[in-house]
Structure 1
Amino acid sequence: MTHNTPLSPRPLHQLTEGRHRLMTTAQLRAHGVSAAETNERCGPGGPWQQLLPNVVLLHPGPPTSEERLHAVLLYAGRERAGGPAPGGTASVPVQPSGDAAAPGPVAEALVTGLAALTLHGFSSAPPLPSLEVIDVLVPRLRRLRTTGCARIVRTTALPTPELVTGVPVAPVARALADAVAELTDAGVVRRLLTEAVRGGHCEPAAVVRELNRARLLSRPHVVDAVDSLVAEGRALAEQRLYRTVREHGLPEPLWNVDLRLPGGPHLGGVDAFWPEHAVALELDTRTHRQQEDETVWAEHARKREHLERLGVTVVHLTPRKLRDCPEHQAAVVRTALMAAGDREPAAYIVVLPR
Structure 2
Amino acid sequence: MNHNTPLSPRPLHHLADGGRRVLTTAQLRAHGVSAAETSEQCRPGGPWQQLLPGVVLLHPGPPTSEERLHAVLMYTARERTAGVPVQPGADEPPAPSYGEAMITGLAALTLHGFSSAPPLPSLDAFDVLVPRLRRLRSTGCARIVRTPDLPVPVRVAVPQALDSVRAGGSPVPVAPVPRALADAVAGLKDADTVRRLLTEAVRGGHCEPTAVVRELTRARLLNRPHVVDAVDSLLAEGRAMAESRLYRMVREHGLPDPVWNVDLRLPGGPHLGGLDAYWPEHAVALELDTRAPRPGGRPDDDAQGSEYSRKREHLERLGITVVRLGPRGLRDAMEQQAAVVRTALMASADRDPAAYVVVLPR
TM exceeding 0.5: yes
Please give the alpha-carbon distance, in whole angstroms, between the structure 2 residues aligned to 1:265 and 1:290.
Answer: 32
Please give the alpha-carbon distance, in whole angstroms, between the structure 2 residues aligned to 1:345 and 1:61.
Answer: 79
* Preserved contact between residue 26 and residue 78 of structure 2 (Cα < 8 Å): no
* Preserved contact between residue 31 and residue 85 of structure 2 (Cα < 8 Å): no
Amino acid corresponding to residue 202 of structure 2 in structure 1: V
Gaps of 5+ in 1: 1-7, 94-106
- Counterparts of residues 20-35 of structure 1 (less than 5 Å): 20-35=20-35
Please give the alpha-carbon distance, in whole angstroms, between the structure 2 residues aligned to 1:60 and 1:194.
Answer: 41
- Counterparts of residues 89-108 of structure 1 (less than 5 Å): 91-93=96-98, 107-108=99-100
State whether structure 2 residue 110 is matched by structure 1 residue 118: yes
1:315 corresponding residue in structure 2? 323
- Counterparts of residues 129-140 of structure 1 (less than 5 Å): 129-140=121-132
1:267 corresponding residue in structure 2? 272
* Preserved contact between residue 103 and residue 127 of structure 2 (Cα < 8 Å): yes
**1:158, distance to aligned residue in structure 2 (A):** 1.1
**1:85, distance to aligned residue in structure 2 (A):** 5.3
Tell me: CA distance 1:183–1:125, structure 2 relative to 1, closer, same or farther (3 Å).
Answer: same
2:345 corresponding residue in structure 1? 337
State whether structure 2 residue 313 is matched by structure 1 residue 302: no
TM-score (norm 2): 0.89
Q: Secondary structure at the match of 1:77?
A: helix
Of 141, 164, 172, the residue aligned with 2:156 is: 164
Q: Secondary structure at the match of 1:288?
A: coil
- Counterparts of residues 159-308 of structure 1 (less than 5 Å): 159-165=151-157, 166-289=171-294, 293-308=301-316
**1:291, distance to aligned residue in structure 2 (A):** 11
Please give the alpha-carbon distance, in whole angstroms, between the structure 1 residues aligned to 2:45 and 2:78.
Answer: 30
* Preserved contact between residue 104 and residue 183 of structure 2 (Cα < 8 Å): yes
Please give the alpha-carbon distance, in whole angstroms, between the structure 2 residues aligned to 1:291 and 1:243.
Answer: 35
Tell me: CA distance 1:85–1:22, structure 2 relative to 1, closer, same or farther (3 Å).
Answer: farther
Identity %: 77
1:49 corresponding residue in structure 2? 49
Please give the alpha-carbon distance, in whole angstroms, between the structure 2 residues aligned to 1:89 and 1:228.
Answer: 46
Amino acid corresponding to residue 305 of structure 1 in structure 2: E
Tell me: CA distance 1:58–1:305, structure 2 relative to 1, closer, same or farther (3 Å).
Answer: same
Q: Secondary structure at the match of 2:207?
A: coil
Deviations 1:224-260 (A, max 9, x none): 1111000000000000000000000000001111111
Tell me: CA distance 1:142–1:192, structure 2 relative to 1, closer, same or farther (3 Å).
Answer: same
Deviations 1:3-60 (A, max 9, x none): xxxxx95213233134130100111111111111111111111111000010000111
* Superposition RMSD in Å: 1.7
State whether structure 2 residue 156 is matched by structure 1 residue 148: no
Amino acid corresponding to residue 167 of structure 1 in structure 2: V
Please give the alpha-carbon distance, in whole angstroms, between the structure 2 residues aligned to 1:90 and 1:151.
Answer: 23
TM-score (norm 1): 0.91
Tell me the matched-pair count: 334
**1:290, distance to aligned residue in structure 2 (A):** 7.5
* Preserved contact between residue 130 and residue 147 of structure 2 (Cα < 8 Å): yes
Tell me: CA distance 1:83–1:296, structure 2 relative to 1, closer, same or farther (3 Å).
Answer: farther
Q: Secondary structure at the match of 2:294?
A: helix
